[in-house]
Chains A and B, each alone.
Chain A
Amino acid sequence: MNGYGSSTYPDGFYPQVNPQGFKPNTNALVLKTSLNF
């Protein structure tokens, strides 16, 4: 991801969990498993 959005809108990057500040780019790997019936 290029950018980290605003610290005043909940767009995914939250200052509370990034107290050291943000870096401009982020790569992410998501693994998700679901059961449905």
Chain B
Amino acid sequence: MHKRIFSSVFVYLCFHAGQITLQAQEFKLLHRTVQVHGFVSQGFIYTSDNKWLTMNTSQGSAAFTDFGLNMSSQVTDKLRIGAQGYDRNLGPLGQYHPSLDWAVAEYRFKSWLGVRGGKVKTILGLYNDTQGEDFLRTFALLPQSLYPTGLRDAAIAHLGGDIYGDISRRHRLGVLSYTAYAGHRRDSLYSGYPYLASQFGIYYSRIDGLQYGCDLRWDTPLNGLLIGGSRMNEDVTGHGTLGNPINPGAGSLPYSEGAKADWTNQFYGEYVLGKLRIDSEYRRYLSDQIISTLALENITDVRGWYVSGAYRVRKRLALGSYYSRYTITSVFGGALAAVSPNKTDTGLPANHIYDKVITAWVDLDKFWDVKLEGTL
């Protein structure tokens, strides 16, 4: 309750006292400039039939609030530090439980070699590490085929380290940027996956594990064209309790799950020409999960892609549209496979989501924008 009140007050102050708050963007500490940035957003969603994103959207829902505050400082020419706190409420997700989005110390030895450590934003495709930065893009929601809103806090960062750099190639062959990382991922218990699992009587106390991967992107000699690919491997386990499916009155059983394989491949391209921006990405996510408590193996294969275009029509107005396709198959093995039928026909509506989106993005002023988005 106190968190709700605090969050409501924060949102109110940001919207109604914005003109005062927005001026305070930096201060001095130990002779170093500390930059302060933040954002707050409020959404409303109405859907025609099914309820979406955990909210009661068929009646219209405004239970869609998030905000973040970050500080960073360039301590020396090569050392930069920063951190961001984040909070959200999305239907029953988030519930205004604040989290540390990222907290990083970054040291750049050369342009081609740098290191980061701390809670580091995970580079995966074009937008995973900038999911909270709405003001960077036209769309109100990122394509859900690749960036499901319910999983934002599961994917955003890892506790560990990165090495990264930019390699300028000779003969005007563009710039090659690389990132390699390893660390520990820990999911919020107020994220989409724990919420989804609660329908089966599974209540997690912990979801975490190893995460490592790399990203390679090429800013090509063709001005405005960027292409790249990302790979992420994970070894995530979940622990908690499971309601006794045979005798519900007998209390809960210990629950655990792990992965034999868990990886994501993502390939992407971006082309910016003046006021026009075109993006396209493809992601495949495969999880071979062992649910020890139920002697069940579940292989989930998710594939998604989208093509988007956005054009700034006027100084304060941009229009955008994208087409997105998402398919999922589930194959079950183990002792309880007989009661868990395989789902492999991606032509069925239970195994796909195809959506077409059109958006208008209006900048009311330098700090405040409104987006109106229709999804069919």
Using a CB–CB cutoff of 8 Å, the interface residues on chain A facing chain B are 1-18, 22-37
Given contacts A27-B375, A28-B374, contact A37 B38 (CB under 8 A): yes
Of all chain A residues, the one with the shortest Cβ separation from B51 is A17
Partner of B349 from the list A3, A8, A36 (CB cut-off 8 Å) is: A3
Instruction: Give me 12 other A-B pairs in contact (C-beta within 8 A), A6-B343, A33-B42, A36-B38 excluded.
Output: A4-B353, A10-B151, A16-B54, A18-B50, A26-B47, A26-B49, A26-B52, A27-B47, A30-B371, A31-B44, A34-B371, A35-B41
Does B305 sit at the interface, judged by CB under 8 A?
Answer: no
**Interface range on chain B: under 10, 10 to 19, 20 to 34, or 35 or more?**
35 or more
Given contacts A23-B49, A30-B44, contact A10 B192 (CB under 8 A): yes
Distance in angstroms from A4 CB to nearest chain B CB is 6
* A37 near B22: Cβ-Cβ < 8 Å: yes
Complex CA gap A22/B52 in Å reads 11
Q: Which residues of B contact A5 (CB under 8 A)?
A: 326, 328, 350-353
Partner of B144 from the list A2, A8, A12, A17 (CB cut-off 8 Å) is: A12
A contact face: mostly helix, strand, loop, or mixed: loop
Tell me the total A-B contact number using a CB cutoff of 8 A: 200
Q: Which residues of B contact A27 (CB under 8 A)?
A: 47-49, 374-376
Q: Pick out which of these stretches binds chain A: B133-141, B173-181, B244-252.
A: B133-141
Q: Which residues of A contact B371 (CB under 8 A)?
A: 30-34
Q: Which residues of B contact A14 (CB under 8 A)?
A: 51, 54, 150, 192, 195-196, 199
Q: Pick out which of these stretches binds chain A: B211-219, B225-233, B314-322, B362-370.
A: B362-370
Complex CA gap A9/B38 in Å reads 31
Partner of A10 from the list B21, B148, B375 (CB cut-off 8 Å) is: B148
Partner of A3 from the list B57, B135, B350 (CB cut-off 8 Å) is: B350
* B49 near A34: Cβ-Cβ < 8 Å: no
Complex CA gap A17/B199 in Å reads 10
Q: Which residues of B contact A35 (CB under 8 A)?
A: 14-15, 18, 22, 39-41, 367-368
* A37 near B375: Cβ-Cβ < 8 Å: no
Complex CA gap A5/B354 in Å reads 9
Given contacts A3-B349, A33-B41, A37-B37, contact A28 B375 (CB under 8 A): yes
Distance in angstroms from B371 CB to nearest chain A CB is 5
Does B279 sit at the interface, judged by CB under 8 A?
Answer: no
